[in-house]
Amino acid sequence: MRFVLTGEQREFARSLDALLRAADTPGVLRAWAAGDHGPGRALWRRLGDAGVFALAVPEAYGGVGPLPVEAAVACVELGRYAVPGPVAETLAAGVLLAGAGGPAAKEWLPGIASGAAMLSLRLPGHGPYALDADAADAVFTVDGDGLRRAPGPGELSVSADPARRLFRPGPGGEPVAGGRAVEAASRAADDWASFATAALALGCGEELLRATVAYVKQRRQFGVAVGSFQAVKHRLADTLLGLEFARPLLYGAAVELTEELSGGRAGAGSPEPGAGVGSGTGPAEGPPGSGLGTGRGAGSLGAGSRTGPLGAGSRTGPGMGALGAGAAVAAAKAAAGEAGYAAARTALQLHGAIGYTEELDLAWWLRRARPLRDAWGTPSACRARVLAG
């Protein structure tokens, strides 16, 4: 499979890169870990203005989604800059509330789309914790076919990453919705949480590799750059291969999620290569500065060609459809999570003792890689899901 982003999708990634590069995310991370959520919430609102969270919210509630491909593009960038906060959980909560419907959807989805609302989430099968529940405006939990709003963040637990604060919401809470709609919405939200976390892990691994390559180019031993040693080159090459093998699985999962959303019709036509995020039938609008349209053709979902731009045409080669969206997401999560963690181990090994220091900004990425690997589906759990189909 070969996945190529459209020009609009690449421009969206560049705009997020520019926004985040200017945001001093290491400083934001340090404040977040210390319990000061102000800088993180300010960055969150800017990301909302850029259209990031609208990607998981239907148009009826002020969003432009669901757009899985664009969500993957965004989350990779957010992972590269280690943006704090419940990113995957908020996106998944948007999917959950949209599927459940009712007053809660009307209350929360417009805020998610704009970046005004930050939500955390606890779903069956993923342990008792809710990420950054103290910073979230609300925490939603699903037990069986019942959706509730938790009464509070609950008890703080120890986390390997101090900027990923884990809480145990207590039992009870306000009932929000129930029945089969909640069961189906919970499964969809589970897929989105795992999918977004896979993209965050891939972005985290990319930044770890980039920083490590830069370091070994300037660190000298025996009169030469450390990066000139063959063993170092091989370690870096292996790390790059892991990340590059995970990337098509991530975008393949995005395509499968899109086709599931559209009932399998996405990619059935063959619009001109290079079709963007809009439908191609006229001007489309999205959040200011996002570069995203709200059209609903095959191109708008980014789910077209397996051999051309995402969203640009028909399927012309073997894909991941035999797996189904859930298994495709699990495959992406296993690969991206392990590749990101391998990048962290490489970075720590090649940075030497400095990699253990709090003063090194890269320490925040090093500590994030393993929690991202295991959150919303450990590698073993994801492989089991792939085998189960």
Residue 262 pLDDT class (50, 70, 90 cuts):
confident
What average pLDDT does the segment 347-372 reach? 91
Residue 265 pLDDT class (50, 70, 90 cuts):
very low
CB neighbour class for 293 (10 Å; exposed up to 12, middle 13-18, buried from 19): buried
CA distance linking residue 280 with residue 8, whole number of Å: 13
What average pLDDT does the segment 220-231 reach? 89
Residue 310 pLDDT class (50, 70, 90 cuts):
low
Residue 3 pLDDT class (50, 70, 90 cuts):
confident
Mean pLDDT, the chain, as a whole number?
Answer: 86
Tokens, residue 95: 């999917």
Tokens, residue 350: 């090649």
Is-cis flag, bond preceding 66, omega within 30? yes
Q: For residue range 154-178, what is the model confidence (pLDDT) as tens digits?
A: 999 989 899 999 999 988 889 999 8
Question: What backbone torsions phi and psi does residue 302 show, to the nearest 5 degrees?
Answer: 65, 35
Is pLDDT above 50 for 79? yes
Residue 289 pLDDT class (50, 70, 90 cuts):
very low
Is pLDDT above 70 for 295? no
Domains and CATH numbers, the chain: 7-187 (1.10.540.10), 192-388 (1.20.140.10)
What is the pTM assigned to this prediction?
0.87
Nearest to 136 by CA among 28, 32, 23: 32
Contacts of 53 (CB under 8 A, 6+ apart): 47, 63, 90, 91, 94, 112, 113, 114, 115
CA within 13 Å, CB half, 199: 28
CA distance linking residue 262 with residue 235, whole number of Å: 42
Say which residue the tokens 């800059």 belong to: 81
